[in-house]
Amino acid sequence: MSASLRRLLKELQNTQREPSGEIASLAPVDDNNLLKWRAVLRGPRDSPYEGGWFELRIDIPEQYPIQPPTLVFVTPVCHPNVHFETGEICLDILRTQWSPAWTLASTCLAVQVLLANPEPSSPLNCDAANLLRCGDVVGYNSLVRLYTRLYAQSLTTDLH
């Protein structure tokens, strides 16, 4: 068994032993393939995403943890740093700032923190970023709540 697979098995055991309040689920999609995972994040409290459930697809390279996993939102998300159509996430730890010290769980938590702390200076969704750049926080929060209600609240029925 490779070092990558041993690491992933250990992470899976840790996730099952110490569940997180922010991560509703984090596990391989298929027990026979530890390189494809699914996560469901709860929308951060006191944010316009609160009450939403956001599914992520996680593809893990064979060189993990030396190389970062690829995380993509499956649930449509209105956020300056998330491409609305593809679910691509602009987050430095997924690219240039990756370290083997990051785990899948800590990476998912970083994505959840990003939801509540958008960075409009590096947008993948220019419309959402422009609302924040122009100082229209009320408009931004309203738009995010609308998309959260439309796309992220129906996921709860899929979890049970």
Domains of the chain: 3-159 (3.10.110.10)
Its pTM stands at 0.93
Alpha-carbon distances of 90 from 77, 97, 101, 111, rounded to whole Å: 13, 12, 20, 9
- Name the residue type at position 150: L
pLDDT (tens digit, 0 to 9) for every residue of the chain, 160 residues total?
799 999 999 999 999 998 888 999 999 999 899 999 999 999 999 999 999 999 999 999 999 999 999 999 999 999 999 999 999 999 999 999 999 999 999 999 999 999 999 999 989 999 999 999 999 999 999 999 999 999 998 654 444 3
**So which residues are the catalytic ones?**
90
